[in-house]
Chains A and B, each alone.
Chain A
Amino acid sequence: ETGVTQSPTHLIKTRGQQVTLRCSSQSGHNTVSWYQQALGQGPQFIFQYYREEENGRGNFPPRFSGLQFPNYSSELNVNALELDDSALYLCASSVRRGGPTDTQYFGPGTRLTVL
């Protein structure tokens, strides 16, 4: 187990609704990254948070937003849900060490279904 937890495990919403997903990072990790994995695809980077600041963003619209808290846990918020938002949402925590790429440890994911 990676020590990264996510909640809820499954969620069903309807188009136009808003959703908040949560992630608790591994102890001692100060960086959280969020990814979206559609069925049959590899995960796609949404954004990363480091010390409560957004630190990089992928090609996702502004209705995808996030937060990181002082204890380094994080939230992903998606407004105005669309059918294509149905996916597995993964968070990954890591420690910023200043190396080329810090190893990211993934949580079990939240499976979101939009009807």
Chain B
Amino acid sequence: RKEVEQDPGPFNVPEGATVAFNCTYSNSASQSFFWYRQDCRKEPKLLMSVYSSGNEDGRFTAQLNRASQYISLLIRDSKLSDSATYLCVVSYGGSQGNLIFGKGTKLSVKP
């Protein structure tokens, strides 16, 4: 079983749509949670951290359910510029803090 699993995608949505991505992680010792965005042939960039209380950044809302080991990302009012691959990431933290990435879900927003 993969440590971090995501919706396989791809998601093809019209501009203005609301889209939700889901992710599950297998290790209950995971301490930190993130969503990264990766454009085609570019490096991953931190989109937002995910907190237990849920958090919002403009059109983006992230939720974490530790009991179910489940993370979500909601994008409202999709823009063409949101087209990218979204990577769910967890970390065990501590002295290493290495990031464990899901395979990513590709989003294409169409006019």
Chain B interface extent, by class: 20 to 34
How far does the alpha carbon of A45 sit from the alpha carbon of B3 in the complex, in Å? Answer: 13
> Across the interface, do B91 and A107 meet the contact criterion of CB distance under 8 Å?
no
Does the CB pair A107–B31 fall under 8 Å?
Answer: no
Say yes or no for A106: interface residue by CB 8 A criterion. Answer: yes
Report B19-53 CB contacts with A as 1/0, cut-off 8 Å. 00000000000011000000000111110000000
Known contacts being A42-B87, A43-B44, A108-B42, is A58 close to B98, with CB within 8 Å? yes
Q: Which residues of chain B are near A107, meaning CB under 8 Å? A: 43
Whether the pair A101, B93 counts as a contact (CB closer than 8 A) is: yes
Q: Nearest Cβ distance between residue B74 and chain A, in whole angstroms?
A: 21
Check: A104 CB closer than 8 A to any chain B CB: yes
15 contacts between A and B (CB under 8 A): A33-B98, A33-B99, A35-B101, A41-B104, A42-B101, A43-B44, A43-B99, A43-B101, A48-B97, A56-B98, A100-B93, A101-B97, A104-B99, A106-B44, A108-B42
